[in-house]
Structure 1
């Protein structure tokens, strides 16, 4: 007999939710009892009401919600709140947000079991993700996995001087103006030659054509805001 899994889907686009329900219908490994909500507040209330009598097994939520006048206004906040009241709920993200910084921060801070991208999510991937979630294992869409790996590698190679240079670079029209703003760990200021050499290394590391491209790539990777 197949297991019946109780699932709560949360997104502010009803058509997407209905499409997800149809995708769940294609999965044959389980049968599902699916509820969907279009706001974080209503999802939170649904979990609270069902927790003692008929708790949800899995929650998949989006991250951004157009109607944000409630108490909980984002998927990140919803995850944080639900972890306090439903510790056994297996939480995942299904979203259109593929920005490296958003992905990295959500996985680091909210620690969802899965992170799926709406555009790439089909029944096969969703089925695999559900299996992983039920085992308390992580699963990330292929593109998400690539971005996490790249972001982690870059983060490891970034020292404090590199971060300072990348943060200061957009503020100044000329490289010479960076002098006086970049400090070593011992507090001594970096000279222009050292700054130029570090910039050259950063352009190679991030495969940037010039300093403007370097800043754009650093932002895309979430190294700077």
Structure 2
């Protein structure tokens, strides 16, 4: 039987993690696939390899960590930014996020903006799960790990309750941004932000005006 030849790129700033992915994937390459695996450790190197591949053989699958050293020009700040550029430069490439992040705001942002073919939280995944994910992504995407599936279920339930602006307010509050500074991060006036916070406190049945209580309840409900 003729093996299927696939070209892969793994972008992660931890060499040991890259080697772990390579070893897990190469173990299956002797059966059905011949894998050509390349790697990069930051946004600049990843971007360069993706750009170069567009003039030759594009990558079949690109694996991206979210937290990557940014590009030197400051235009690509994360794996999410790199994924958006990969979608434009190499639309035939399948994108897979493998990340330690499991906060719901970040998962929501990537699913909405990048719409990857795979999304795996590293704490959900062992070598056999990675191989299973690879096979699904290659043949019948998408593939989501347990934490991502749970988020999607919660998000479908809550989609009509909290919108994108509410999510941004909650997210930035959780990162320590004070309400008076929120207009720098969310395109709303202070009055509009206060009205939304009041609605959120009512939704979460919070009687105090304490942001800590609001953030805690948002986390419990799966919004952060």
TM-score, length-scaled by structure 1 = 0.72
**Within 1, Cα distance between the matches of 2:60 and 2:77?**
23
Structure 2 match to 1:123: 127
Secondary structure (helix, strand or coil) at the match of 1:147 reads helix
Are positions 1:102 and 2:103 aligned together? no
Question: In the superposition, relative to structure 1, how do residues 158 and 120 fare at CA in structure 2: closer, same or farther (>3 Å)?
Answer: closer
* Partner of residue 39, structure 1: 42
Change (3 A) 1:126 1:29: farther
Q: What residue in structure 1 maps to residue 182 of structure 2?
A: none
Match of 1:147 among 128, 151, 158: 151
Q: SS state of the match for residue 64, structure 1? A: coil
**3-state SS of 2:13 partner:** coil
* Structure 2 counterpart of 1:218: 218
**Structure with bigger gyration radius:** 1
The number of residue pairs the alignment matches comes to: 196
User: What CA deviation, in whole Å up to 9, does each residue of 1:181-203 have, x standing for no partner?
Assistant: 548xxxxxx9xxxx7xx856524
Q: For 1:26, what is the secondary structure of its paired residue?
A: helix
C-alpha distance in 2 between matches for 1:102 and 1:201? 22
Match of 1:30 among 17, 29, 33: 33
Kept in 1: contact 2:204–2:217 (CA 8 A): no
Name the SS of the counterpart of 1:111 in structure 2.
coil
Deviation at 1:22, TM superposition (A): 1.1
Q: Can you list the C-alpha shifts for 1:29-87, whole angstroms capped at 9, x where unaligned?
A: 42311001001111111122122322211100001124553442211111111112111
Of 8-17 and 80-89, more deviation after overlay is shown by: 80-89
**Deviation at residue 107 of structure 1 after TM alignment:** 0.6
Contact 1:203–1:211 under 8 Å retained in 2:
no
Q: Deviations over 1:109-158 (max 9, x none)?
A: 11111101123322332223223322462111011110221133123234
Superposed CA RMSD: 3.4
Change (3 A) 1:26 1:213: farther
Out of 36-45 and 65-74, give the one that drifted further.
Answer: 65-74
Tell me the distance in 2 between the aligned counterparts of 1:132 and 1:150: 23
Residue 6 of structure 1 aligns to a residue whose secondary structure is strand
Q: CA, structure 1 residues 32+60, in 2 after alignment: closer, same or farther (shift >3 Å)?
A: same
**2:95 corresponds to which residue?**
91
What residue is the counterpart of 2:86 in the other structure? Answer: 82
Q: Structure 1 residue 221: deviation in Å? A: 5.8
> How far has the Cα of 1:3 moved from its partner?
1.1
- Whole-angstrom CA distance in 2 between matches of 1:15 and 1:48: 25
Separation (CA, whole Å) in 1 of partners of 2:216 and 2:155? 14
Distance 2:70 2:160 in 1: 38
SS class of match (2:7): strand
